[in-house]
Amino acid sequence: MVEKTNTKPDRKYTYQDYLKLPDEPGFRYEILEGELIKDPSPGVQHQRISRRLQRILEDYFWETDPKGEVFDAPLDVTLQESTVVQPDLIYVADMQKDIIKTTRIDGPPYLAVEILSPSTRRKDRITKMNIYKKAGVLHYWLVDPQDQVLQCFFLQGDNYVLLIQGKEDIISHPVFTGLEINLDKLW
């Protein structure tokens, strides 16, 4: 369950506040538009899916953008001073490598992937989707292990449009030419 740790509703947390948080095993922190959020660490199924999808993305981008990089959580992504997120997977294209800093990604990555957990479903589908949209993250994927669905969104204008959705078999991404994901192997 997502725990809101902000006890003062009028207080907006910043990246500098985030850096001062104590390390607490078993939990991850994010700041979503000034609100401090504390989530439990992901479970085994979540991590298996993350690892499998990361391997697929690394193999694909190694061929299509060898200077781009795929990262996995936990890695801070600062989208503004009051928003620090930790997407499950991140792809930073070669053309935007200047956002890669020593300790974080400072700016919107080309692709952010969130793997839904029971405690993060609403946050990932609504709150973080809106944050990524406002920040200009071009590609946002939601991976739902419970329903075994992958949804790939693309930022068009001010809104995300669903490019492709898959539940089983193999999906071919319409923008990332040649990227095929065998969903049966992902779950």
Is the Cα torsion angle 185, 168, 132, 120 positive or negative in sign? Answer: negative
DSSP string, 5-50: ----TT----HHHHHTSPP-TTEEEEEETTEEEEEEPP-HHHHHHH
Least confident of 6-15, 46-55, 161-170, 173-182: 6-15
pLDDT value for 168:
81
Residues 45, 145: contact at Cβ < 8 Å? Answer: yes
Taken in order 158, 12, 2, 145, the sign of the CA dihedral is positive
In the chain, pLDDT over 90 holds for what percent of residues? 89
Q: Are 72 and 89 in contact (CB under 8 A)?
A: yes
Cα separation of 168 and 170, whole Å?
7
Mean pLDDT is lowest, of 18-32, 82-96, 130-144, for 18-32
pLDDT tens for 123-171 read 999 999 999 999 999 999 999 999 999 999 999 999 999 999 999 889 9
pLDDT of residue 7: 47
Question: Tell me, what's the pLDDT at 6?
Answer: 45
Q: Find the largest Cα–Cα distance for the chain.
A: 49
Q: How confident is the model at residue 3 (pLDDT cuts 50, 70, 90)?
A: low
Residue 112 has pLDDT above 70, yes or no: yes
- Judge whether 141 and 164 are in contact, CB under 8 Å: no
3 state SS of 80: strand
CATH numbers and ranges of domains, the chain: 42-186 (3.90.1570.10)
Whole-prediction pTM value? 0.92
* Rounded mean pLDDT, 84-108: 98
Task: Provide the Cα torsion 30, 165, 69, 75; round to 10°.
Answer: 10
